[in-house]
Amino acid sequence: MPKIVIQEPAPVLRRKSEKFEKIGSREAKKLVFKMLETMKEKRGVGIAAPQINEGVQAIIVDTADGPLALYNPKLLKTSKKKESGEEGCLSVAGVYGIVPRFTSVEVEAQNEKAEIVRIKAEGFFARVLQHEIDHINGVLFIDRATKITEGKKILDEIENKAAKPIL
Ligand SMILES: [Zn+2]
């Protein structure tokens, strides 16, 4: 079955997701499975639950050891230094931009056994974590981009659509 990624503008992408309380349940396994399948099909390196229309705090990030599912993640510590790099997003298809991100972060989250884990990340891995944690807080990379490198026209269309009242 083709996987659908929610596209901006969409309310589910713009609100803070709810804390995920059902870690370890069948529902959690189904959610992670669906996120993983969608991420793989669309060749993403990370995905957040709102992108498949689930307003809960769950993310998946690709790592050297395989995909890592995290629930209720938050940034615990960040470096002072930021580094600019190019990003895109499955929910803002066709748009790329330069986004400053902390060069290193420490993230606290729950794993699939509901244990509290702390993850130290640098460079690209830190960037992906910040991008996905932004998603569960209703923030998209286009909000933080200092420059749009590709897809300006698409972005204009998104902004037009978002500005039109639906009555
Ligand atoms: Zn994204």
Has residue 105 been placed in a domain? Answer: yes
Q: Ligand 1 centroid to 132 CA: how many Å?
A: 6
CATH of the domain at 73: 3.90.45.10
Mean pLDDT score, 40-55? 96
Closest CA to 85 of 94, 97, 95: 97
Whether the pLDDT of residue 164 is over 90: the answer is: no
Whether the pLDDT of residue 20 is over 70: the answer is: yes
Q: Ligand 1 centroid to 128 CA: how many Å?
A: 9
Q: Ligand 1 centroid to 47 CA: how many Å?
A: 6
Q: Which helix (H) or strand (E) holds 102?
A: strand 96-102
Residue 67's contacts (CB-CB under 8 Å, 6 or more residues apart) are: 36, 39, 60, 61
Closest CA to 86 of 150, 38, 30, 42: 150
Confidence (pLDDT) at 78:
98
How many domains is the chain built from?
A: 1
Active site residues: 132
Confidence category of residue 133, pLDDT binned at 50, 70, 90: very high
CA distance 12 to 78: 27
Mean pLDDT over all residues of the chain?
96
The pTM (predicted TM-score) of the whole model is: 0.96
Confidence category of residue 3, pLDDT binned at 50, 70, 90: confident
Confidence (pLDDT) at 1:
65
Q: Ligand 1 centroid to 11 CA: how many Å?
A: 15
3-state percent helix, strand, coil for the chain, nearest multiple of 5? 30, 35, 35
Question: Could you read off the pLDDT of 49-96 as tens digits, one per residue?
Answer: 999 999 999 999 999 899 999 999 999 999 999 999 999 999 999 999
Confidence (pLDDT) at 165:
82
Which residue range forms the structural domain that includes residue 19? 11-82+100-140
Has residue 162 been placed in a domain? Answer: no
Whether the pLDDT of residue 157 is over 80: the answer is: yes
